[in-house]
Chain A
Amino acid sequence: MSNIEGLLKQHGTPEKEVYLDWENGSVVDKEVYAEMRPFYLERTFGNPAITHHMGWETLDFYMKAKTKIAKPLNIDPQALALTHSFSESNNLAIKGIAKLNKKRKKIIVSEAEHLSVIHTAKSMFSDQYKVEIIPVSNDGTMNLDILQERIDNDTLLVSLQAINHEIGTIQPVKEALEIVKDKDDSILFHTDATSAFGRIPLDYGKVEVDLATINSNRILGPKGVAGLYIKDGIKIKSIYEGQLSLEILSPDVENPALLAGFAKAVEIQFNRFDEIKNHTQNLRDKLLYGLQTSIERTEINGPLGERRAPDNVNISYLGCEGEALTVECSMNGIYVSSGSACTSRILMPSHILTAIGRKPEEAHGSLLMKINRLNTEEQIEYVLERMPKIIKRIRSITGGIEL
């Protein structure tokens, strides 16, 4: 028996399981799977870039599927490039723009961006780019005054996420866009809408960002497919080379099954938009305030009220180390993640919790729970019933150690 098999055996399967780690991986909706299945087993698997019936059949499907995804964003379907992941989309947005740029040498991102934005921006140092990281307030909102100060005629691109993936801050994208475009209409604006797509209304016909990252898996579509909206007229180049294909910015053999799943997930999410929003928001409030009132020494991370994402619950439990908490939660069948240093490769706490001014011991004790439309009220009640005991046990191990 391998160590991991032994670990699973020692852990055992909890009687009741509640999955709240939607940030780090999602199941595919049943209807989405049903939509995808024939694309693997039956028809429309041909390459849309080839001149035969099967190819044209796929090409026809591609146009229709993209139209479905583009509709809720109010964008031209032709302006939507498909990629393999939101990380690829974010990389493409920054590197693909920089590749064709000769003059401007500054890239600006917020301090709370996903690492696929921050690290990509910083990787441009080697190409003589200057990278400005704009600080955020203690609820995670980008500081617009500092943005205003830092943008200039040397700025190529500004990137600001629509919703923070970890603490749920809805960012002032519209206001930031206005500041940027008022200063210089040629500065490009990218928004990473990975955590926002399907959660809050996004109308890029009105809020005219130049580039936007969207994702399939966060709305119960398949993994392995995402999108990058590129406004008409923006010059961008692929960041890796491949064969001639329909998706010239992500050159590969197209996978119609993934696109079918993505399109179906979008359709479901937006057909039921209000219902899903109300459901997740109600459960979010029940969980967020329930935990805060039943457990002492807690700090909610991120904003409260209208500026918090409808699905985000992020709380620091003082006197607890987060990795131990995730394991103890797991023993109770509750699957969550933490911003603790112990869960990271570099043994540093989450850069977002540090950015909002959390002390290390507050960041280490944080747990991220996300509410999905598949979660039920009964599941949330189970979590509320168990969490005080979980926290109590981990605090008993910390004992009298003074933090």
Chain B
Amino acid sequence: MSSRIPLPYAPRVLELFQNPQNLGRMEDATVYAAAGSPACGDMIAFYLKLDEPNAIIIKSSFESYGCASNIAAASQLTIMIENKSLEEAWKITWSDVSEALGGLPSVKTHCGSLAVGALRRAIRTYYKEKELKLPNWLPEELSKDEKHALEEEALAEKLAKKYKLLEKRD
């Protein structure tokens, strides 16, 4: 096996892994977004059902192709944004998620970041799809967590390219 690192998950991570809240595809979602890539072994899909006139999240759900902390981070975030306005949801950071989980091991902070990245992407997608004017709190420039998701996806592309080289060799 490759070089390993101990992963002392907080009990909350294991609890949400065992019983993930708000798991699964939402058929009647107002908006959907995904972040990450299978090449990195890390992907989150986020679904939001909105009370549109008031920009309130009625419910949200997720799907995760990822490790236990990835699953827990996504699930934790869906709990944190329930009945929150889009503005309040936007302001949740990965460190809020990590804290709510009792702390993620440092090598896993990106899991929290990816969940937040997926949510923010969903919020941005909502305004774009509905062709609504961007509210003041939503910056035109990508936030750190959205950039993180992009970075992972770029890395995945690199891996995929490397893999194709291997295919040619054979």
Is A321's CB under 8 angstroms from B8's CB?
no
Q: Which of B1, B17, B25, B103 interacts with A24 by CB under 8 Å?
A: B1
Which residues on the B side are within 8 Å of A322 (C-beta)?
Answer: 41
Q: Is A360 an interface residue (CB 8 A)?
A: yes
CA distance A4 to B167 in the complex (A): 43
Is B25's CB under 8 angstroms from A399's CB?
yes
Is A403's CB under 8 angstroms from B42's CB?
no
Which residues on the A side are within 8 Å of B38 (C-beta)?
Answer: 360-361, 364, 401, 403
Is B5's CB under 8 angstroms from A344's CB?
yes
Binds B, one of A64-72, A204-212, A350-358: A350-358
Is B2's CB under 8 angstroms from A339's CB?
yes
- Closest chain-A Cβ to B22's Cβ sits at a distance in Å of 12
Residues 320-347 of chain A, each 1 if its beta carbon lies under 8 Å from chain B, else 0: 0111100110010000010111111111
- Closest chain-A Cβ to B135's Cβ sits at a distance in Å of 29
Which residues on the B side are within 8 Å of A321 (C-beta)?
Answer: 41-42, 65-67, 70
Q: Is A78 an interface residue (CB 8 A)?
A: no
CA distance A400 to B25 in the complex (A): 7
CA distance A328 to B23 in the complex (A): 16
Which B residue's beta carbon lies closest to that of A114? B1
CA distance A358 to B3 in the complex (A): 19
Binds B, one of A7-15, A152-160, A179-187, A294-302: A7-15
Q: Is B50 an interface residue (CB 8 A)?
A: no
Binds A, one of B51-59, B83-91, B141-149, B158-166: B158-166
Is A364's CB under 8 angstroms from B167's CB?
no
- Closest chain-A Cβ to B57's Cβ sits at a distance in Å of 20
CA distance A361 to B156 in the complex (A): 11
Is A3's CB under 8 angstroms from B4's CB?
no
CA distance A249 to B17 in the complex (A): 48
Q: Is A6 an interface residue (CB 8 A)?
A: yes
Given contacts A6-B11, A324-B71, A360-B159, contact A398 B3 (CB under 8 A): no
Q: Measuring CB to CB, which residues of chain A are less than 8 angstroms from any residue of chain B?
A: 3-4, 6-7, 9-11, 23-24, 115, 135, 138, 165-166, 319, 321-324, 327-328, 331, 337, 339-351, 354, 357, 359-361, 364, 368, 396-401, 403
18 A-B Cβ contacts within 8 A? A3-B8, A3-B9, A3-B10, A10-B15, A10-B18, A323-B41, A323-B67, A323-B68, A327-B67, A327-B68, A337-B1, A339-B2, A342-B70, A345-B2, A350-B2, A354-B166, A360-B40, A400-B25
